[in-house]
């Protein structure tokens, strides 16, 4: 299925109530599962965390590889998954790529899980 046909994180958080409020519809479950799957990896959680906690919620890929202790291609793969899922954006400046947390993206997921 092309990405354009999938519900995005923004669609789901805009349309849908928290999952504990009423039984979630099948297409929303698919969409939220995809977002959670993108986060459900220790390396990707650490990458999101490092980017989000960095100054201005933006970090150079050059600052992300060494602390993780993973190869540069592996880190790039994980970053691509996070960009594709809508949690990070990527911009190239000079020789480096910079990753920025998409404002509201983590909160959209948190909002769907919260029961209070």
List residues binding its own copies (CB under 8 A). Answer: 19-24, 26, 29-30, 32-33, 36-37, 39-46, 48-50, 52-53, 57, 67, 101, 106-107, 109-111, 113-116
Distance CA 90, CA 113 (A): 27
- Cβ of residue 30: shortest distance to its own copies, in angstroms? 5
98 sits in which H/E element: strand 96-101
Residue 6: φ, ψ to 5°: -85, 150
| Cβ proximity to its own copies, 43 vs 97, nearer residue | 43
- Cβ of residue 4: shortest distance to its own copies, in angstroms? 20
* Nearest residue to 44 via CA among 91, 2, 101, 4: 101
- Cβ of residue 37: shortest distance to its own copies, in angstroms? 4
Distance CA 97, CA 91 (A): 6
| Cβ proximity to its own copies, 22 vs 95, nearer residue | 22
């Amino acid at each position: 299925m092309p990405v354009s046909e999938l519900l995005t994180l923004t669609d789901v958080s805009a349309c849908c109530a928290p999952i504990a409020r009423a039984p979630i519809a099948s297409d929303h479950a698919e969409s939220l599962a995809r977002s959670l799957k993108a986060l459900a990896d220790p390396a990707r959680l650490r990458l999101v965390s490092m980017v989000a906690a960095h100054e201005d919620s933006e970090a150079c890929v050059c600052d992300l590889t060494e602390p993780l202790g993973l190869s540069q291609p592996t880190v790039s793969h994980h970053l691509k998954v996070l960009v594709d899922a809508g949690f990070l954006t990527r911009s190239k400046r000079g020789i480096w790529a910079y990753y920025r947390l998409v404002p509201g993206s983590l909160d959209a997921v948190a909002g769907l899980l919260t029961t209070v």
